Amino acid sequence: MTSTVSFKEKLKQAYSVFKWDLKSCTGTMAVYAILATVFTTIILTLCLVVGFYSQNNTAYDLYYSSFSVVPNTTDVVAASVRFFQVAASQVVYLLTIIFAIIYTVKVYSYLHNKRKADLYGALPISRIMLFTSKSASAFLFTLVPAMFFLGIIFIISACLGQPIVNEAIDIYVKLLLGTLASISAYGLISVCCGTTVNSVVMFITVCIAYPISAMFIKGVANGFFYGSYSGIFKDHFIMNALNPLAAYDGINIIYWLIFTVVCIVASAFLVKNRKAERAQASFAYYLPCHIVKVLVAFLAGMFLGVLFGSLNVFGDGYLGFVFGFILGSVPAFVIAHLIFYKGFSNLVKTSIPLGGLVVLVIAVMAVCNYDVFGYNEFIPNFDNVKSAGLIDANYFYKENNSNLNRIVKDSAEDFDDKDIINSIITVHNSILDKKDFSSDKKFQNVWYDMFVDNMNIGLNEMRCSFAYKMNDGRVITRMYSPSADNLFSSVGIDTSEIVMTKTYTEKYSVALNADQNDISYITVSAEDYDECTLGNTENSKKDLTKVMEAFRKDFKADNSDISKVLEPAEYEYSDFYNYSSSLYYNKDFRYYKEQYPDAVCLLEVESVGNDYSNFGSMLSMIASGNYSIYNTPQNEVYLIPESYKNTINALKEIGVLNSDNTINEDSEYSEILYR
């Protein structure tokens, strides 16, 4: 026989618990309010005082440089207020995170104290409703005061005539997301743990150990499998999947929302059947404890293992790894056990996962180290390849939001010409010939590949992809990016034989593929060093579009030997790898005119340099997580012969060329360099 309480009654009960918690947190909230008020006032005062009286202050220079604002007398106060917004919001953000930890630990401590368990266990409120109202308390105690103070900051700014800056608004999102994920994760851990100390230690351990362990796995995958591409980088949700503090970065919003819901649902399910007598015991549910112990053992083992592997201990990287892994993982596991269990009880019984971990890792690393499946040195047999493709990072354009994996896979059907396929295989071979596949090198690569996301990779490094469509229909791809052993050296692989083809140009050049808005300008040059540049103004965009459409029409219709048209591009390409930029400028239009009497002009096309428009920059951008560094434009130069009538006519119609195919000096686009 059961009795029920109406939903309205349940809500009333939950609200009572919430208000009671609120009363018990009054003191803590008062401290938060005082600190937030004091800091906000201090920052406002300093900003205004500095704004009025110290216009040349270093801090302001920094601020201006960060916002790309040129300082002048009139906007100093405005800039001060904007600086106040950002600085005060950051302080409220940090204070909120600190107090969120205090509230959360306090709110969920009812699960970790026998006397509190008696009090709450006997109350006429369901366990799920009690947990939900406690969680709501933790969320609201954190968010409402923070929102209140951020609101005050914005009101002050508005009163001083300044709109809300984006950096300050971002803090709202970060705070909301971070609070939701962190509190729900801590709630789940609290339900599983028997003491507050274990909950806090476990939460911190997971937040630190998981991301570093993920970095090790990524480092091993990339370091040991040369040419693989996982697409998993620093900001990928996998890298921080169990680290809810990463939600405070404000990215991967969907993932963190799902994570929050999963944690809340799992907590509610577990709390309903949680044994109240487990308060003050080590754990109420042991699974998270086993997971954390294995995680800690894995991390310590990988650290020492990879270290000893890269130091070539015992003269063999793999043996060094095995020694280091066991040396790191076993003590770490025992220490974690001692902390969580407060003694050696059940150590042997709970060590089975450690045994499994050691065996698994040593086996997996053996497979990786000895390249059991021959991944690293695999190049398809020429006779088995139906078609192939190569993409050179330095000569590539694709529209925004392209999927890198998809592009590379699709490139497998680019060339079915046997000579080109042979060239692709030759280039592929030459890359592998230069690679050191020794065991210790692989372990050294792990360190680099772990942190590669955060490094500013030079774009001069060779980056290219290979794709093969086999006769049996399989598609095999390899993507090569810099690794530890060739980071600071030029690989110097010549791909021009593939890149400087009509097929490649049609698929991957800026001139043939870019959206008109992604072309920043085109420059037409002819004899006498005269040039006309289109694209600098909005009006010239229309003419630019007209010329590019005509060029594309001519290029596609051109069935003759296209090497003449591409020769300037090829020269620029080889010049790029030879590091002798001065050569390019010596080969002006007259050089080509001597070679090809039917040459009319040179057409230089430069892309906007959108982050996604270049294969190399796309890879680097994803890898770095910094979206502003790799804003590199791409230049292409084409020779326009007399047969490109559409292009020539278009240039004449817009007044760039005269009727005798010379540059019109009176054109609005004319830039006379020498006279």
Binding site for another protein (CB under 8 A): 1-5, 10, 12-13, 15-17, 19-20, 23-24, 26-27, 113, 115-119, 121-127, 129, 272-273, 275-277
For the four alpha carbons of 109, 112, 118 and 124, in that order, the dihedral sign comes to positive
Q: How far is the CB of 619 from another protein (least distance, A)?
A: 55
Of the two residues 10 and 434, which places its CB atom closer to another protein in the complex?
10
Q: How far is the CB of 186 from another protein (least distance, A)?
A: 20
Of the two residues 26 and 560, which places its CB atom closer to another protein in the complex?
26
Length of the chain: 675
Q: How far is the CB of 205 from another protein (least distance, A)?
A: 26
DSSP 575-614: HHHHT-HHHHHHS-HHHHHHH-TTEEEEEEEEE---TTSS
Of the two residues 5 and 98, which places its CB atom closer to another protein in the complex?
5
Give start and end residues of each alpha helix (H) in 54-126.
58-67, 76-107, 114-122
Q: How far is the CB of 282 from another protein (least distance, A)?
A: 12
Q: How far is the CB of 343 from another protein (least distance, A)?
A: 15
Of the two residues 2 and 74, which places its CB atom closer to another protein in the complex?
2
Of the two residues 106 and 645, which places its CB atom closer to another protein in the complex?
106
CB-CB contact of 606 with 520 (8 Å)? yes
Give per-residue burial for 408-447: e unless 16+ CB within 10 Å, then b.
bbbbbebbeeeebbebbbebbeebbeebeeebbbbbbbbb
Ordered strands of the 531-534 beta sheet: 635-641, 599-607, 519-525, 531-534, 670-671
Q: How far is the CB of 121 from another protein (least distance, A)?
A: 3
Of the two residues 104 and 439, which places its CB atom closer to another protein in the complex?
104
Of the two residues 289 and 601, which places its CB atom closer to another protein in the complex?
289
**Geometric angle at alpha carbon 636, from 577 and 461, rounded to 5°:** 30
CB-CB contact of 202 with 289 (8 Å)? yes
**Amino acid letter at 466?**
F
Give start and end residues of each alpha helix (H) in 417-531.
418-433, 439-451, 496-499, 502-508, 510-513
DSSP run (H or E) holding 475: strand 475-480
Of the two residues 1 and 70, which places its CB atom closer to another protein in the complex?
1
Residue among 98, 96, 187, 181 nearest 142 (CA): 96
Of the two residues 120 and 396, which places its CB atom closer to another protein in the complex?
120
| Pair of tokens at residue 123 | 């109350």
Q: How far is the CB of 108 from another protein (least distance, A)?
A: 15
Q: How far is the CB of 134 from another protein (least distance, A)?
A: 13
Of the two residues 106 and 435, which places its CB atom closer to another protein in the complex?
106
Q: How far is the CB of 184 from another protein (least distance, A)?
A: 22
Q: Report d(CA 80, CA 75) in Å as an integer.
A: 8
Q: How far is the CB of 354 from another protein (least distance, A)?
A: 23
For the four alpha carbons of 260, 262, 268 and 273, in that order, the dihedral sign comes to negative
Of the two residues 4 and 401, which places its CB atom closer to another protein in the complex?
4
Q: How far is the CB of 197 from another protein (least distance, A)?
A: 19
Q: Report d(CA 296, CA 177) in Å as an integer.
A: 27
**Amino acid letter at 498?**
I
- Tokens 């503090």 label which residue? 245
Ordered strands of the 464-470 beta sheet: 385-392, 464-470, 475-480
Of the two residues 10 and 386, which places its CB atom closer to another protein in the complex?
10
Q: Residues 6 or more apart from 402 whose CB is under 8 A from it?
A: 612, 618
How far is Cα of residue 253 from the mean position of the Cα atoms in its chain?
14
Q: How far is the CB of 103 from another protein (least distance, A)?
A: 14
Q: How far is the CB of 18 from another protein (least distance, A)?
A: 10
Q: Report d(CA 531, CA 546) in Å as an integer.
A: 18
Q: Residues 6 or more apart from 75 whose CB is under 8 A from it?
A: 69
Of the two residues 116 and 409, which places its CB atom closer to another protein in the complex?
116
Please give the DSSP secondary-structure letter assigned to residue 346: T
Of the two residues 106 and 552, which places its CB atom closer to another protein in the complex?
106
Q: How far is the CB of 136 from another protein (least distance, A)?
A: 16
